[in-house]
Chains A and B, each alone.
Chain A
Amino acid sequence: MSSYSESDAVAKDFRDALEDIQTIGRPEISNLTIIARENIEHALAISSALVDHVKRAAPHKKLPPLYVLDSIAKNVGTPYTLFFSRKLYQTYMDAYAMVDMATRRKLEEMLKTWKEPVPGSIDTRPVFPPEVVRPIENALIKVRTTALQQDQERMRNQQQLFGRGRPVQGVPYRETLTPPGARPPSQTHAYHAQQPPIHHGNGIPYSQPTQPPSVGYQSQPPTLNTTSRSTPQPPSSGAFQPPHMGGYGLAQRGISIDALNDDIQRLTAAFKAQLGQTPHDPIIQTKLKALVDLQTILQTQNLPQEQLVLVKNQISDLAVNMRAPPAQTSTPVSLPNPVAVAPPPVAAPKVSLDSLFGSGALAAIMARNTTPSQAPTPQPPAAPVPIRSPPSQRIEPQKAAPAPADPLALMNMLRRAGMLPPATPATSTTPVPSIIPSTALPFPLPLSGITKSTQPAPPGTIESLTNDIVLKASSLKQFRPQLLPLLFEAQGLQCTQCGRRFPTNEEGKRRKTAHMDWHFRVNQRSNETEKRGLHRSWLVDEMDWINTRETIDKDHVVQAGDSDTAPGGSITKVPKTQYIPVPDDPVLAASVCPICQDKFETRWLDDAQEFVWADAIKVGDRIYHASCHREAFKDGGGTPMYTRNTPEPVLGKRKAEQDELVSLRGKLKVEAV
């Protein structure tokens, strides 16, 4: 047993335990903390399992693992804090971006405690070093300032729509969750005091903050208190409008096409320079072509404002990427004028992105998201880093078919060309910013209610719209043009690769991201599989068909291993994955797990585009349940979690006779060696 696989095992166990947490309970958290302490030699594996879990958890399930992280950091400390620190910004911000307001509040409270020493400890150092925490704080301040402006704007515009106020649960973090380590009770209410009195019940939005704007809080070490949160922005400046409040917005006026053209020109020049160095790089060529196309569109068509915003954002993105690649391609590129690719300062009536989002509001976030490893020190938020705002495409029901050469289509082209981060999931082992927040970045969008009410959703349900249709030929012949948009505009914008439409709301964006990822994976996989020679698969039997559920762009985390049975009997290596393709050999296909004598579960794995046996592993020419096999192979010793004494409860379905089982195990061991 190498310690590597032992670490894996511990991490796996830890992950399983994490997945079991349903409620945020003190016992579970303290349990996991203890496990982490006892397995400190596997700290790396455990911490990455935990961080990974946070990343993958559904938004409403992100808080518990974060509490675990918090608890381990406070109660165990190094080396966990070191490992967490590496990805703390990303983990925290990704989670923050996805959760609701109440959870955000809790996250903020948690963050605050990270700046302080562990209460009761003699160590005076903070839980996490300031250089780790501060970037997060800076980002949060930006987010909240923007959110606040939004709130004010909204209140100014309409009062009734946002009656709920912010759902402030006010549950102080320390009161419930952290294991009873060393926590003086005097701290308990520390955060209560700082809760802004904004929970006014139904219908009444909380009153406008009255504090004067606190200027320059960015430069001093910021604190997350009410003051900064309620800093009012002079309403006259910029009139920030969040993209999702489509119904209100007159704001995004006047992004100058000329300015955009300038940007593109500069970028084009930069790319050309790059091309000069690597003339045959197809990626750069594609990018260059895309840029030229984009420019053509800009010059020949009168695009509506919201599309301009998009174009602008994408250009800004490109600018960021433009700077980032040299490190990856290892070709030193001297840009003619790197500063020039940043959005140029725009004159007064025009709204620059900075004034749209507050100076550099998302900049810090985006900068870190796109170049996580290159900025060991926090990015100064005021730096002219280009900004990508949340995509603001929305469809006005009146607007007819998409413009001939839709800039969005181009965006997707760019994305396909690998210029934009969202659709390129991790191909390497380095962590990539979680996909969801990077496209559908919901800053500052905790306004699910608002989002819904302003969606271009059809007024009324499909049932009410169609109740004049009678199933009679005469009624069916009547053209009802009002229904047509339900199949087109109301379904959102088309995927440029396959034509499917995706709504422009949060859910739709999420689905589109998953969908683009799916395209990416399929393309990647088909390149791989073409080399091996393909063949038609057998169909499944009745029962499997009945139990099949269609998966749409499902994001499977497992990667298809090379567990295929290569003709000619090559060396079988034990696949890392937990599934194998359903064997083509009918005899093998009818086999059962030699250990538990149960059949294998056949599933259609969309990611692999083939039928697979879940939890199966092929050893030699026999197929086992991966879990059974693991059990059978565990040699005692090792970690306490995998004691051999109790395999039965895990499987709970052993039918084989005990002695038969034992002899089988003996055999397996022989084979294994």
Chain B
Amino acid sequence: MAPPKTKAATAAASSITSAPTTTQTLEPYWEYRFEVPHSSILTIKLVSGTAEKDGTELAPNTPYAFTATKSKINTWHGCTLEITAPSSGTYDAYTSEPNADETPMVSYLNLHFKLESLRAAAQRTAQMGPRVLVVGPPNAGKSSLVRTLTSWATRMGRQPLVVNTDSREGMLTLPGTLSAAVFATLIDATTDWGTLPSSGASAIPVKLPLAYYYGLPQSDDNPKLFKRMLGRLAIAATSRLAEDIDVKSAGMLIDTGGVPAGTRGAAYYDFVAHIVAEFSVNIVVVLGSERVGSEMQKRFSGQITSVGETVTVIGLDKSGGVMDRDEAFMQSIRESAIREYFFGNARMTLSPFTQQVDFAAVSIWRISEASSKTAADGGGITYDEGEVHTDMLEKAEPSMMLQNCVLAVACASVHDVPDNIRDANIMGFVYVADVDEKRRRLRILAPVSARLGDRPLLWGSWPEHMVNLLI
């Protein structure tokens, strides 16, 4: 495909202090792409026409403030945007100017309408709606596509169940989790997926995820645990589908982590196969990679799902201007996600609570990395399930290692057997602000003001240590 022409229209409008407001006119199919670090805020207002951000339609004349994100505004009818640059800090933006033949949005839109017709048929016959899996290399715009399909579905009055199997990034919850949530109304355009419930009122309806803590960035860091978590998630998701008719007809949209390069790809495809089986996926969308596409075709095309449907594999182009997101930027996004979990954002300030806890009063479980991880990294040995440690969780004593760690709070009891703790979903997170080994006390930041009681804490290595959340 011919890469869409791009033009650096507003590049790096930095070091301008007087918060200048510019007007950006987009013709149909154009996109306004921007990157804002967490230190500054870019405000975009739709002045005329229609515009979407990942499928969520912008309200006219309403300022949308973006921070710590790389995203884009696209338009089908053309629009005029009023862009207020941050008064301090920098941002980076440009317009991508494809026409109707070039923009991959057309394919996405057609895919959406095809899914919509499958949903209508499913509703008529009280069957399950389509279960769509999106795979592709990193930075292909997979999450963005899933989000777009989700938003479009909700705009048609559907309630799709969205599943995130990429523990590098969290959906609604923090990184390190696998989660699922039903989206019934619009997604807050200034966030990726929306916000978690809090004790306050949210101008955009909050979404309720079900989350399991995997605590590791890569699916092959602990393949057995990863599959276990996927299984738990699939059971819950399938149960929700079975009991909630609105969700049932809308089906599922499943996001995945990027296909790793090199030899780890083979192991990755095993996970994809696992997801396809567990979630009865019947449509596999491969984004931006012929290579992955042919692999998927080979593995799944024509395969019959557990409910007797044939699996379809479709290859789609990735969006021309998808930005590569470098690791430093991603880390800053993770950090601001953690910050936002505890402290809220500009619109809603939250007050977490600190408390002192005795070492003896907490029950901490360490999520172990599989030994095959290091082997795979070092010598390119493919992952083999037999070699993996059978113990996925081990009891850990509090130590200085916990300093600045984010721990997940399991929805279980300390008296449960380790298997139950491992299988439990999580209630949320706490942050270890301080470890006092002398007095054997932890200073813990928790979202709510309450004792942790008998909830076990899960200690993974993802999201990574923060420098210090309390500064």
Contact (A478, B350) CB under 8 Å given A404-B47, A584-B449: no
B460 interface residue (CB < 8 Å to A): no
Q: How near does chain A come to B149, taking the closest CB pair, in angstroms? A: 12
B60 interface residue (CB < 8 Å to A): yes
Which residues of B from 436 to 467 have beta carbons under 8 Å from A? 447-455
Stretch at the interface among A36-44, A325-333, A538-546: A538-546
Contact (A606, B205) CB under 8 Å given A409-B60, A529-B200: yes
Q: How near does chain A come to B82, taking the closest CB pair, in angstroms? A: 12
Q: How near does chain A come to B228, taking the closest CB pair, in angstroms? A: 14
- Residues of A within 8 Å of B427, CB to CB, are 538-539, 541
A483 interface residue (CB < 8 Å to B): yes
Q: How near does chain A come to B373, taking the closest CB pair, in angstroms? A: 28
B50 touches A476 (CB 8 A): no
Complex Cα gap A400–B352 (Å): 48
- Residues of B within 8 Å of A480, CB to CB, are 109-110, 113
B316 touches A476 (CB 8 A): yes
Which residues of A from 559 to 590 have beta carbons under 8 Å from B? 564, 567, 581, 583-587, 590
- Residues of A within 8 Å of B243, CB to CB, are 546-547
Complex Cα gap A606–B207 (Å): 11
- Residues of B within 8 Å of A405, CB to CB, are 48, 61
A539 touches B211 (CB 8 A): yes
A667 interface residue (CB < 8 Å to B): no
Complex Cα gap A585–B48 (Å): 49
Contact (A541, B208) CB under 8 Å given A473-B314, A584-B448, A611-B197: no
Contact (A535, B351) CB under 8 Å given A498-B203, A545-B210, A552-B185: yes
Complex Cα gap A353–B47 (Å): 32
A429 interface residue (CB < 8 Å to B): no
B176 interface residue (CB < 8 Å to A): no
B77 interface residue (CB < 8 Å to A): yes
A651 interface residue (CB < 8 Å to B): no
Q: Which residue of A lies closest to B205 (CB)?
A: A606
Complex Cα gap A400–B79 (Å): 12
- Residues of B within 8 Å of A476, CB to CB, are 106-107, 110-111, 114, 314, 316
- Residues of A within 8 Å of B121, CB to CB, are 463
B57 interface residue (CB < 8 Å to A): yes
A430 interface residue (CB < 8 Å to B): no
Interface residues on A, range: 35 or more
Interface membership of chain A positions 472-516, coded 1 if the CB is closer than 8 angstroms to chain B and 0 otherwise:
110111111001101110010011111111000000000000000
A536 touches B312 (CB 8 A): no
B182 interface residue (CB < 8 Å to A): yes
Interface residues on B, range: 35 or more
B451 touches A587 (CB 8 A): yes
Interface membership of chain B positions 61-99, coded 1 if the CB is closer than 8 angstroms to chain A and 0 otherwise:
110000000000000111110000000000000000000
Q: How near does chain A come to B77, taking the closest CB pair, in angstroms? A: 4
B59 touches A586 (CB 8 A): no
B239 interface residue (CB < 8 Å to A): yes
Which residues of B from 323 to 375 have beta carbons under 8 Å from A? 341-342, 344, 348-353
Complex Cα gap A405–B46 (Å): 11
Which residues of B from 199 to 213 have beta carbons under 8 Å from A? 199-206, 208-211
A151 interface residue (CB < 8 Å to B): no
A529 touches B199 (CB 8 A): yes
Among A476, A477, A494: residue with most chain B CB under 10 A: A476
Q: Which residue of A lies closest to B189 (CB)?
A: A499
Q: Which residue of A lies closest to B99 (CB)?
A: A479
Stretch at the interface among B6-14, B151-159, B258-266, B393-401: B151-159
A501 touches B155 (CB 8 A): yes
Q: How near does chain A come to B23, taking the closest CB pair, in angstroms? A: 13
- Give me 27 A-to-B residue pairs in the complex whose CB atoms sit less than 8 angstroms apart, sorted by A's number: A401-B48, A404-B47, A405-B48, A471-B314, A475-B110, A476-B107, A477-B101, A478-B106, A488-B50, A488-B77, A498-B59, A526-B203, A536-B341, A536-B428, A539-B425, A539-B426, A540-B208, A540-B210, A541-B427, A542-B210, A546-B239, A549-B244, A552-B184, A584-B448, A585-B450, A586-B454, A609-B206
Interface residues of A (CB under 8 A from B): 400-402, 404-406, 409, 461-463, 465-467, 469, 471-473, 475-480, 483-484, 486-488, 491, 494-501, 519, 521-523, 525-526, 529-530, 533-542, 545-553, 564, 567, 581, 583-587, 590, 604, 606, 608-611
- With A462-B116, A476-B106, A538-B428 known, 7 other A-B pairs at CB within 8 A are A472-B314, A488-B77, A496-B61, A499-B56, A501-B155, A526-B201, A604-B208
